[in-house]
């Protein structure tokens, strides 16, 4: 998030409570604490906070809201099979983490590119089709019932 986005976010926060005028120190502090989050996620978390409480938001409120948003996104994304060789555990885990990170951050998973340890490599069309078929097969596997459901 940029300094201007933090200023806008603080203006929204101040408008929801009407008892506070953010200062440049507030901008600095909020930027230090929320700078790694996306503006859209922080604004959504602020709106959810304002809709549920009349208390002035603090960065921890927004961080908790952003965590809930990201967890909700991850719950709604089908789990894809990583493109890396499963015998290469570090690369396979890196691919899995990258997919989950992109999914939580609302970045679409591209069927023809995979991110492996910060380097992009193109997946041939035939391999992409095979990957999609494998992912479809994984999605059709019935999930185990939880202990609560039994």
- 58-111 pLDDT, tens per residue? 999 999 999 999 888 877 777 677 778 888 888 888 888 888 777 777 644 444
Domains contained in the chain, number: 2
Q: Give the mean pLDDT of 22-50.
A: 92
- 2-12 pLDDT, tens per residue? 999 999 999 99
The mean predicted confidence, pLDDT, of the chain is: 78
Same domain? 82 vs 114:
yes
Q: Look at residue 147 and tell me if it is in a domain.
A: no
Give, rounded to a whole angstrom, the gap between the first and last alpha carbons of the chain.
45
Query: Does pTM top 0.75 for this prediction?
Result: no
* Other beta carbons within 10 Å of 5: 18
Which of 75, 94, 122 corresponds to the end of one domain?
75
Structural domain including 16 reads 3-75
CATH of the domain at 60: 1.10.8
């Amino acid at each position: 998030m940029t300094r201007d986005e933090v200023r806008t976010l603080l203006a929204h926060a101040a408008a929801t409570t009407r008892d506070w005028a953010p200062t440049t120190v507030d901008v600095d502090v909020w930027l230090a604490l929320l700078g790694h989050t996306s503006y859209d996620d922080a604004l959504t978390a602020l709106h959810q906070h304002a809709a549920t409480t009349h208390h002035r938001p603090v960065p921890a409120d927004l961080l908790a809201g952003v965590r809930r948003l990201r967890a909700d996104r991850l719950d709604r994304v089908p789990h894809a099979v990583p493109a890396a060789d499963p015998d290469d555990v570090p690369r396979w885990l890196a691919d899995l983490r990258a997919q989950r990170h992109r999914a939580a951050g609302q970045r679409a998973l591209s069927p023809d590119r995979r991110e492996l340890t910060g380097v992009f490599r193109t997946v041939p069309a035939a391999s992409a089709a095979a990957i999609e078929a494998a992912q479809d097969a994984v999605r059709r596997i019935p999930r185990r019932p939880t202990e609560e459901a039994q």
